[in-house]
């Protein structure tokens, strides 16, 4: 999210210092999965509309960056298949099919949530055993290579005119318009966009009066990458929290665990082996695929799971840009624009529930 903010600042000609505690793009965004999953097409609201438009505009953002850098983000609107094991799920899917016709539209483009009887791709993608009542074919879902996209952003930023990069040096605290860094130096800023993943929460909590509960927490996730005879055109598969995301080069990412409690944030264990085993049952083509990487990271989960963006009520020069939890990749570019809007005093166009001030109100009220 911070890389997108720096890129948007560069395009606006804003003099920017990009400070990262580690090497760039090695946090949660340096992972494997890259699923760009829309919210369900039912119960439409401003949050779903914002995400829908963001997922759509990411196409153009990626194309522009690919043209600028000559690199690939591994982006593709592959669609998604969701098996329906039970008949009542088919009834719900058919309702959603009608709702998608209304809600998944923009200009002359529209996307489907079609209830179908069998996979058009045969018994290997997915196994018919889990699709007793058919499947959903969602034509809106897409995927991107997390490292492809972040690598492209980093390369573009290393050539930026208005952005200077400092790596291996974290922000330890912020007071007024001064940030104290881990190397003992201080930086005075006009505005500070705070986009430190889950580490943003404690830094933001320091800026105002004590809260009744934390603004957010890290949630560990484990994922794996498999290589085999996997067509990059295949749609994503999703069943009961298990994602299979085909990528370029015969690769498919498998994920993810969701762990509120953990001893080691970056180790992998039997939980990812269970997911790999489930993936091989769901998509038999993976039986002969080999695991080439296992990976774990910490997602930034804000108090109510929504993104946390905008000026701090007690220090408007500090602008949050965090809390994307499980959907950051599809929205980071748009949320970064909102953060820059706060810097430039432009009116907010995102849902009020995404604002840092709303999260703080909740954290103040609820013990």
Ligand X SMILES: Cc1cc2nc3c(=O)[nH]c(=O)nc-3n(C[C@H](O)[C@H](O)[C@H](O)COP(=O)(O)OP(=O)(O)OC[C@H]3O[C@@H](n4cnc5c(N)ncnc54)[C@H](O)[C@@H]3O)c2cc1C
78 binds ligand X (CB under 6 A): no
Tokens of 7: 């890129």
| Residue 34: closest CA among 197, 150, 143, 154 | 143
Q: Can residue 322 be called a binding residue for ligand X (CB under 6 A)?
A: yes
Q: Whole-number minimum distance, CB 255 to ligand X, in Å?
A: 5
Instruction: Name 91's Cβ contacts closer than 8 Å, sequence gap at least 6.
Output: none
Q: Is 2 in the site for ligand X (CB under 6 A)?
A: yes
CA pair distance 11, 234, nearest whole angstrom: 35
Q: Which residue has the tokens 């408007």?
A: 316
Does 262 bind ligand X (CB under 6 A)? Our answer is no
For residue 237 the two structure tokens come to 């598969």
Comparison of 153 and 285: residue with beta carbon closer to ligand X? 153
Nearer to ligand X, 41 or 218 (CB): 218
329 touches ligand X (CB under 6 A): yes
Q: Does 328 bind ligand X (CB under 6 A)?
A: yes
Under the criterion CB under 6 A, does residue 197 sit at the interface with ligand X? yes
- Binder among 38, 134, 300, 341 for ligand X (CB under 6 A): 300
Tokens 């909590």 sit at which residue?
A: 205
Residues 137 and 233: their CA atoms lie apart, in Å, by: 14
Q: Beta-strand (E) ranges in the chain?
A: 16-20, 35-36, 80-83, 105-106, 109-110, 113-116, 135-138, 142-143, 163-167, 171-175, 178-181, 186-188, 192-194, 216-227, 236-239, 242-247, 251-255, 290-302, 308-312, 315-322
Cβ closest to ligand X, residue 78 vs residue 115 = 78
Asked whether position 341 contacts ligand X by CB under 6 A, the answer is: no
> Binding to ligand X by residue 41, rule CB under 6 A?
no
Of 82-141, binders to ligand X (CB under 6 A) are none
Q: Which residue is nearest to ligand X (CB)?
A: 27
Part in contact with ligand X (CB under 6 A); list of ranges 18-26, 53-61, 89-97, 338-346 = 18-26
Count of Cβ atoms closer than 10 Å to residue 220 Cβ: 23
Residue with structure tokens 């003992």? 184
Nearest to 146 by CA among 287, 1, 289, 279: 1
Give whole-number Cα distances, 235 to 35, 48, 163, in Å.
11, 22, 37
Looking at the Cβ atoms of 120 and 202, the one nearer to ligand X is: 202
User: Which CB sits closer to ligand X, 35 or 204?
Assistant: 35
Report the nearest approach of ligand X to the CB of residue 153 (Å): 10
Span near ligand X by CB under 6 A; candidates 23-31, 62-70, 228-236, 310-318:
23-31
Using CA atoms, how far apart are residues 282 and 285, in angstroms rounded to an integer? Answer: 9
Residues 165-184 that bind ligand X (CB under 6 A): 170-171
Please identify which residue in 6, 7, 19, 55 interacts with ligand X, judged by CB under 6 A.
19
Backbone phi, then psi, for 314, in 5-degree steps? -100, -5
Q: Which residue has the tokens 């015969």?
A: 250
Judged by CB under 6 A, how many residues of this single chain contact ligand X? 36
Residue from 15, 22, 91, 344 in contact with ligand X (CB under 6 A): 22
Return the residue of 38, 41, 297, 310 that touches ligand X, per CB under 6 A. 297
Q: Is 299 in the site for ligand X (CB under 6 A)?
A: yes
In the complex with ligand X, which residue's Cβ is closer, 323 or 341?
323
Question: Residue from 223, 236, 285, 318 that binds ligand X (CB under 6 A)?
Answer: 223
Site residues (vs ligand X, CB under 6 A): 1-2, 19-22, 26-29, 31, 33-35, 170-171, 195-197, 199, 221-223, 255-256, 297, 299-300, 322, 324-330
């Amino acid at each position: 999210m911070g890389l997108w903010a720096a890129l948007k600042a560069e395009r606006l000609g804003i003099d920017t210092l990009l400070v990262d505690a580690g090497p760039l793009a090695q946090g949660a965004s340096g992972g494997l999965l890259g699923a760009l999953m829309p919210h369900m097409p039912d119960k439409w609201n401003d949050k779903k509309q914002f995400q829908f438009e963001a997922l759509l505009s990411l196409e153009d953002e990626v194309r522009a960056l690919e043209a600028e850098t000559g690199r690939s983000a591994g982006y593709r609107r592959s669609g998604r298949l969701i098996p329906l094991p039970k008949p009542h799920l088919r009834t719900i899917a058919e309702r959603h099919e009608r709702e998608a016709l209304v809600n998944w539209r923009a200009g002359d483009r529209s996307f489907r949530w079609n209830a179908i009887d069998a996979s058009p791709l045969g018994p290997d993608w997915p196994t018919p055993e889990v699709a007793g009542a058919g499947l959903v074919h969602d034509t809106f879902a897409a995927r991107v290579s997390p490292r492809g996209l972040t690598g492209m952003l980093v390369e573009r930023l290393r050539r930026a005119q208005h952005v200077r990069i400092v790596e291996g040096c974290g922000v330890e605290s912020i007071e007024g318009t001064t940030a104290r860094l881990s190397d003992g130096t201080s930086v005075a800023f006009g505005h500070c966009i705070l986009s430190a993943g889950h580490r943003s929460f404690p830094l933001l909590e320091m800026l105002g009066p004590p809260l009744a509960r934390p603004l957010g927490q890290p949630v560990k996730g484990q994922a794996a990458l498999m290589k085999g005879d996997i067509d990059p055109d295949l749609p994503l598969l999703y069943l009961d929290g298990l994602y299979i995301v085909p990528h370029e080069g015969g690769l498919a990412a498998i994920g993810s665990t969701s762990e509120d409690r953990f001893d080691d944030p970056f180790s992998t264990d039997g939980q990812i082996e269970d997911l790999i085993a489930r993936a091989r049952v769901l998509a038999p083509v993976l039986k002969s695929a080999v695991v080439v990487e296992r990976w774990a990271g910490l997602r930034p989960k804000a108090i109510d799971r929504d993104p946390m963006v905008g000026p701090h009520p007690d220090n408007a020069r500090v602008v949050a840009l965090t809390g994307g939890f499980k959907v950051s990749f599809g929205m980071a570019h748009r949320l970064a624009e909102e953060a820059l809007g706060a810097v430039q005093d432009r009116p907010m166009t995102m849902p009020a529930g995404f604002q840092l001030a709303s999260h703080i109100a909740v954290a103040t009220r609820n013990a």
